[in-house]
Amino acid sequence: MSEGARHANSRPQGSRIDPYFDQYAERARGMVASEIRALFAVTARPEIVSLAGGSPYVTALPLDVVGNMVGQLITERGSVALQYCTAQGDTGLREKICEVMSLEGIRAHPDDVVVTVGSQQALDLITRIFVDPGDVVLAEAPSYVGALGSFAAYQAEVVHVAMDDNGLIPEALEQAIQRLTAAGRRIKFLYTVPNYQNPAGVTLAAERRPRILEICQAAGLLIIEDNPYGLLGFDGDPIRALRADDPKGVVYLGTFSKTFAPGVRVGWAAAPPAIRDKLVLAAESAVLCHSSFSQLVVREYLATQPWREQVKDFREIYRQRRDALLDALSAQMPDGCRWTTPAGGFYVWLQLPEGINSKAMLPRAVSSRVAYVPGTGFYADGDGTDHLRLSYCFPPPDRIREGVRRLASVIEAEIDLCTTFGAMPPHGRAGPETPGPGDL
Amino acid sequence: MTELDHVVVLAGGLSPERDVSLRSGRRVRDALEEAGVDARIADADAALIPALLADPPTAIFPAIHGSYGEDGAIREILALVGVPYVGSVASACHGAFDKPTAKARVAAVGIATPESVTLPREIFHDLGATAVIDRIIARLGLPLFVKPARGGSSLGASPVRTAAELPTAIVSCFAYGDTALIERLIDGTEIAVSVVDLGDGPQALPAVEIVPAAGQYDYTARYTAGQTAFYIPARLPDDALDAAAKAAASAHSALGLRDISRTDLIVSESGEIYFLEVNVSPGMTETSTLPMALDAAGHAFGTACLTLLRLAAARGN
C-alpha cells in the first residue's frame, strides 16, 4: 500500500454509513436486510417456479378492452379522474362496492364505505385508530403476513387462535379471550380471514359463524373480517359474510385486487358509523385522498364491463390450477407431508415431515429453482417452522407440476439431512422475513 | 487510454446474492454515468449473449456475486463472446471462489490461514454425523466457524462456540451448498483489504475494520446501514496494517487475480494475520468495503471503475 493511500485518511473514524441510525423510532428497529428477502429477489426470475407469490393472474383480463376503457375515461372525464377527491372516496364507486358486497349478503349504504389503497391500507388505518403499543390483537394461527406487518408496525401483541380444517375454532377463541381478560390485557379486535384463508386455504364453517359472532358480541370484541377471496370460491354461491349478520360488530375489508387487478390498488372498509368517521379522518391524514384515477377506473370497469363473468373466468382458471397443485402433491410429496384442500382462493398450506424446517430449507429450494413462503412468516410468535405456503394462482398448471416435482426432491433431500443430523432448531438471528408485495 | 463507446455492467444472476449484485450493479452504473460513460445493466440470462453479439460493448464490468458470477463461469462466457471485461480470468476465479483451494494456495506462499477441514454433505450421511462431528471438535477444538466452501455474503455462515451448536451450523451451511468449510475461529480484528490495479500494478487500499453491532458480520449486518461500524484505516498498529496490505497483495498475486479483489482477514489479538477468503467480484453497495477503501485512498469511485474499464478495453479479450 502506498503511503499516500494509507494516510489519505490518517485518523481512524468509525462510520455506520447511516448518520441517522440512532434516530429511528423503536418500531423501525426490525426493518433490516434479511436473507429471506434476498432469496425472494431471486424468485421473480422466470427460471424459478414460484409457488410463493400471491399475484393474481391478470393476464386473463381483456387488457385491450380495459385499455380502451381507460383511454375513454381520460378523454371524457379526465378533469375528474386527474383531480383530488374526498378522503372517503368516490361516491359512485362506493355505490358499486355496496352492490359487490350484496353478493355476500351485506346490506350497506355507500356512506358506510371508506375507499382505501387496497385492503392493506384499511388494515393499517384500523390498526392505527385502535391499537396502542402493547395492546392485544387476536388473529388466526396462522394469519395473513401483511396483517401481521401492520400489527407489528403499531407495536400490537398478536395472540394467535387455533384453526382446523373448518377455520377458527370457537372454543379456542373463547378460551383466549377469557385467559387474556383474566390477565388484564386489552384485546382490541379479532382479525380473521374467514374464506379461503391466507395462508391456510381453509374456510370458516357455516355452523361456526354464529358462534364466533356470539362470542365476540359477549366479549364486546370488534371483528375485522378481511375477505379478499370471497368471490373466488370454486363451488356454489358466495359465502354469507360475517358482517351480513352483525353490521355493528364487524368491520368488513374488501379489495378489487383479486376480482379485477391489484395494480389499481383499490380496496375498502365497510364499518359502523363511528368507526367509519375515524377511518375517514385517518385516511385524510395518511394520504389526503386516494387516487381519483384508480377509483374511476374501477367504477367504470364495474359499470361497463361484464365483471361477474370475468370473476367466473378467474374462478375456473384458479380451480384448474388448484387441481393441478393438489394432484401433483398427491403424486409426488414424500410420506409425512400433509396439506389443506382449499375450496377457493389462492393457497395450500403444507405441513412438512417432523423435524424439517421450511425456512432453513428455502435456500436449497431456490437453488433447485422452486420457491414457496416459509410458515414462520405467518406467525407473530416464531411458530410455523414446519409449514410452508404454496400458491397456485399465478403459474400455469404445467409449471405448477414442475414446481412440485422440484419441491418434492428438495424435501426428500432435507429429510435425508434431518435423518443424518437429527431435527435442528432454527439457526441464525431472528429477523423479519416478510416477503415483498408480490408474495402476499 | 482507450475511449469507451458504451459499457455493460453485469448484475443479477440467480444466486441468493442476486439482490446484492443488483445493488452493486446499479451503484457501478450510476457512478459510470456520472463520469460521463454510457453504461447499461445486463442480467445473466438467455438474453445476454444475443445482446452482446448484436451490440458489443467496449468492455464489461462484472458485478455478479455468488455462483457463476465468481466461480469463473460468466467470465468463460465473456471470453467466448470475445468482449473485454474487468477482473480476473475464469481459471483464477475457479481457485479463488473455492475457499479451501484459495486457502491452500495462499498458505503455500506463507500467509497464515485458520486450520480447517472441508467436508461434503455425503460424508456425514455415510460415516455418521456424530462420529464425524466428534472428530472435527477433537481436531480443531472450539470455537469454530462454519461456512459453505463456495459462496459469499455470509449466507450459510455461522460461528460455533459450543459443541452443541456445530450440527445446526453445518445444516445451515448445507442450505447454501453441499460442501462445508469448518475452520478454527480466530478472535481478533476483522478487516477487509481490497486490491486494485489502476494501471500501476496491484495496490492494496486502506484496510477497513469491521465492527458489527450484533457481534456477527452476517447478512443483516452487511447490508443494513447502521448495523456495522467501519473504521478506515483499521485501528491497528502500522506494522499490522503493513502486514495486512502485504497479505492481501500476496493473496491477489498467488491466486493469479487481476484488476480487483477483496481479501478478508483477521488480525489476532497477538497480531498475527490470518487469511479467511478472497472475493473476485467484491460488493459495490453502499455498505460494501471496497468503495469505502477507494474513497479513503483518494480515488473517486466512478473514476476508478472507468479506469478499470479502459484498462480492460485496452487489454482486449
Residues of B identified as active-site = 17, 153, 223, 262, 264, 277, 279, 283
Q: Residues 328 to 367 of A: which have CB under 8 A from any B CB?
A: 360-364, 366-367
Q: What is the DSSP string of B102-146?
A: HHHHHHHTT-B---EEEEEHHHHHHH-HHHHHHHHHHHH-SSEEE
HSE-up of A148 (CA within 13 Å, CB side)? 24
Q: What end-to-end distance do the CA atoms of chain B give, in Å?
A: 16
Query: At which of A269, A304, A339 does a domain end?
Result: A304
Among the partner residues A14, A32, A416, nearest to B220 by beta-carbon distance: A32
* CA distance to partner chain B, nearest, from residue A416 (Å): 8
A12 at B interface, C-beta within 8 A: yes
CATH code where residue A163 lies: 3.40.640.10
User: Are the beta carbons of B230 and A420 separated by less than 8 Å?
Assistant: no
CA B146, CA B148: separation in Å to the nearest integer?
7
Contacts of A99 (CB under 8 A, 6+ apart): A302
- Residue A385 to residues A11, A15, B128, Cα–Cα distance (Å): 47, 37, 26
- Asked, for residue A294, whether it belongs to a domain, the answer is yes
Does B216 sit within 8 Å of A429, measured CB to CB?
yes
Task: Give the CA count within 13 Å in the CB-facing half-sphere of A81.
Answer: 18
Q: What is the largest CA-CA distance in chain B?
A: 61
Q: Who contacts B80 (Cβ-Cβ below 8 Å, separation ≥6)?
A: none
Task: For A200, list phi and psi in degrees, rounded to 5.
Answer: -80, -20
Instruction: Assess whether A293 and A329 both reside in one domain.
Output: no
**Residue A138 sits in the same domain as residue A249:** yes
Binned at pLDDT 50, 70 and 90, residue A431 comes out as very low
Classified as helix, coil or strand, A161 is strand
Interchain CB distance below 8 Å, B125 and A45: no
Residue A95 resides in a domain: yes
Q: pLDDT-based confidence at A439, cuts 50/70/90?
A: low
A412: which chain B residues are within 8 Å (Cβ-Cβ)?
none
Residues A272 and A134 in one domain: yes
Shortest CA gap A389–chain B (Å): 19
Is any Cβ of chain B less than 8 angstroms from the Cβ of A422? yes
pLDDT at B166: 96
Please, what are the domains in chain B? 6-88+310-315 (3.40.50.20), 95-111+187-296 (3.30.470.20), 116-184 (3.30.1490.20)
Indicate whether A174 and A296 sit together in one domain: yes
- pLDDT, tens only, A35-78: 888 888 888 889 999 999 899 999 999 999 999 999 999 999 99
Cβ contacts (< 8 Å) between A429 and chain B: which residues? Answer: 214, 216, 218, 220
pLDDT at A5 over 60: no
CA distance, residue B252 to nearest chain A CA (Å): 13
pLDDT band per the 50, 70, 90 thresholds, residue A429 = very low
In a domain, A74, yes or no: no
> Of B149, B139, B208, nearest to B176 (Cα)?
B149
Which residues from chain B sit within 8 angstroms of residue A362, using beta carbons?
Answer: 175
Residues A230 and A283 in one domain: yes
Per-residue pLDDT for B32 more than 80? yes
- A47–chain B Cβ distance below 8 A for any pair: yes
- Least Cα separation, residue B130 to chain A (angstroms): 8
Q: Is A21 on the interface with B (CB under 8 A)?
A: yes
Substitution target in B15, B17, B18 with the highest count of A β-carbons within 10 Å is B18
pLDDT digits (tens, 9 = 90+) for A339-381: 999 999 999 999 999 999 999 999 999 999 999 999 999 999 9
User: How many Å lie between the alpha carbon of A148 and the closest alpha carbon of chain B?
Assistant: 21
Of the candidates A12, A363, A422, the beta carbon closest to that of B175 is on A363
Q: A328 with A364, same domain? A: yes
- What dihedral do alpha carbons A46, A49, A54, A55 form, nearest 10°? 30
Pair (A275, A367) in one structural domain: no
Q: How many CB pairs below 8 A link A and B? A: 153
Q: Which residues of B touch A49 (CB under 8 A)?
A: none
Say yes or no for a CB contact (<8 Å) between A17 and B230: yes
A419 and A356, same domain (yes or no): yes
pLDDT at A432: 38
Rounded Cα gap, residues B170 and B174, in angstroms: 6
> CB distance from A25 to chain B under 8 Å?
no
pLDDT of residue B68: 80
**Backbone angle region of B7, left / alpha / beta, with phi > 0 → left and psi within -120 to 50 → alpha:** beta
At A440 the pLDDT is 56
The answer to whether residues A282 and A420 belong to one domain is: no
Model pTM score: 0.90
Distance from CA of A332 to the nearest CA of B (A): 22
Q: Has residue A10 got a pLDDT over 60?
A: no
User: B225 and A416: CB-CB below 8 Å?
Assistant: no
Q: According to the model, what pLDDT value does residue B4 have?
A: 86
- Give me the mean pLDDT over the A119-123 stretch: 97
Query: Percentage of chain A with pLDDT > 70?
Result: 93
Provide the grid cell at B39: 453504461
C-alpha cell at A403: 414446481
Q: Is residue A337 part of a domain?
A: yes
Q: Are B299 and A8 in contact (CB under 8 A)?
A: no
Residue A413 in any domain: the answer is: yes
DSSP annotation of A187 reads: E
| Structural domains counted in chain A | 2
User: B112 pLDDT exceeds 80?
Assistant: yes
A38 touches chain B (CB under 8 A): yes
Please choose, from the candidates A182, A138, A378, A367, the residue with its C-alpha nearest in 3D space to the C-alpha of residue B178: A367
pLDDT in tens, B216-236: 898 888 889 889 999 999 999
pLDDT, average across residues B159-184: 95
For the beta sheet containing A373-374, the strands, ordered from the edge strand earlier in sequence to the opposite edge, are: A338-339, A347-351, A387-391, A373-374
Residue A71 placed within a domain = no
Average of per-residue pLDDT values in chain B = 95
Domain that holds residue A105: 83-304
- pLDDT for residue A14: 82
The greatest distance separating any two alpha carbons of chain A, rounded to the nearest whole angstrom, comes to 80
- Alpha-carbon distance of A169 to A302, in angstroms, equals 36
The enclosing domain of A331 has a CATH number of: 3.90.1150.10
The 10 Å Cβ neighbour count of residue A23 is 8
Distance, CA of A215 to CA of B289 (rounded, Å): 58
**Residue A266, φ and ψ in degrees, nearest 5:** -125, 120
The ipTM (two decimal places) reads 0.88
- Partners of A32 on chain B (C-beta within 8 Å) are 220, 224, 227
A23 CB near a chain B CB, below 8 Å? no
Q: Is the domain of A131 the same as that of A44?
A: no
Residues of B whose CB is below 8 A from A420? 124-125, 129
Residues β-bridged to residue B41: B9
Neighbours of A311 (CB within 10 A): 18
Domain assignment present for residue A21? The answer is no
Q: Are residues A145 and A267 in the same domain?
A: yes
Residue A181 domain-assigned (yes or no): yes
pLDDT at A149 over 70: yes
Please list every residue in chain A whose beta carbon sits closer than 8 Å to the beta carbon of residue B211.
14
- At which of A248, A272, A304 does a domain end? A304
Q: Tell me the mean pLDDT in the region A106-112.
A: 97
How many CA atoms are closer than 13 Å to the CA of A276, on its beta-carbon side? Answer: 21
pLDDT at residue A122 greater than cutoff 90: yes
Mean pLDDT of B98-102: 97
Q: With pLDDT > 90 as the criterion, what percentage of chain B qualifies?
A: 89
Are residue A248 and residue A285 in the same domain, yes or no? yes
Out of A304, A329, A361, a domain closes at A304
Predicted confidence (pLDDT) per residue in A255-302, tens digit: 999 999 999 999 999 999 999 999 999 999 999 999 999 999 999 999
For A105, phi and psi rounded to 5 degrees? Answer: 85, 5
Q: Is A59 on the interface with B (CB under 8 A)?
A: no
- The single-letter DSSP state of residue B85 is B
pLDDT at residue A102 tops 80:
yes
Selection from A138, A207, A201, A144 nearest residue A173 by Cα: A138
Band of the pLDDT at A2, cuts 50, 70, 90?
Answer: very low
Peptide bond connecting B206 to the previous residue in cis, omega within 30 degrees of 0: no
d(CA A29, CA A17): 16
